[in-house]
Chains A and B, each alone.
Chain A
Amino acid sequence: DTEVTQTPKHLVMGMTNKKSLKCEQHMGHRAMYWYKQKAKKPPELMFVYSYEKLSINESVPSRFSPECPNSSLLNLHLHALQPEDSALYLCASSHGRTGSYEQYFGPGTRLTVT
């Protein structure tokens, strides 16, 4: 099973709202990732968790706050977003073993900020 699930599928939020995106995998992967994808562009890496510890933050604004409660779950907390933050947010996971670097992606959450 190579499934990564994401909820919700769609989210519309105002600039003053607080919301969260959720990602879950049960493949025993120890590395998890958040990406942002704008239309007709490749995914851009936002955050990387390795063994539940944040290892990479790609200079993402503080209005995005990641959280990894356990090895299967990854959250992205959103607060005071801007319209330009509207995008497809993708979660991915990988084994976390040396030499096994392929990432498995979830279906994404389509976020619209009004």
Chain B
Amino acid sequence: AQSVTQLGSHVSVSEGALVLLRCNYSSSVPPYLFWYVQYPNQGLQLLLKYTSAATLVKGINGFEAEFKKSETSFHLTKPSAHMSDAAEYFCAVSGTLTGTASKLTFGTGTRLQVTL
């Protein structure tokens, strides 16, 4: 079984400060890992994905994540927070269902607050 754990249900940073959102995974096979962002009353938007091609993954809006197998981690970072980054962030791990469809297992989410 695959799972992800997001440490910290709520993270608050000042505008311009480093953003670090933590995600640890558990998987018996090489994982496919994702970060999604959800703004209020909207769907989930894919920020970035890890598919074993490179351990440092760059995504949209200046976010990146580093896959560390030894630590079973896939933490999300952004060097300088912007007010528009305030949202809910979900880490997810994918397992295959039928070889074609996938099953995403989500973490419980981290709400990012950005203050002036």
Contacts and interface: CB of A to CB of B under 8 A. Distances in A.
Judge: A and B partners, yes or no: yes
Interface of A: 2, 4, 6, 30-31, 33, 40-43, 45, 48-51, 55-56, 88, 90, 92, 94, 96-99, 101-108, 110
B98 A90 contact: no
19 contacts: A41-B108, A42-B107, A42-B109, A43-B104, A43-B106, A45-B103, A48-B101, A49-B101, A55-B98, A88-B41, A90-B43, A92-B44, A98-B96, A101-B32, A102-B102, A105-B45, A108-B41, A108-B43, A110-B41
Nearest to A96: B100
Nearest to A10: B41
A27 to B, nearest CB: 13
Interface of B: 32, 34, 36, 41-46, 49, 51, 90, 94, 96-104, 106-109
Contacts, number: 76
Closest 3 CB pairs of A and B: A42-B106, A101-B102, A31-B101
B34 A105 contact: no
A101 B99 contact: no
Nearest to B93: A101
Contacts of A90: 43-44
A98 B100 contact: yes
A55 B97 contact: yes
Nearest to B100: A96
Contacts of A45: 103-104
Contacts of B96: 98, 101
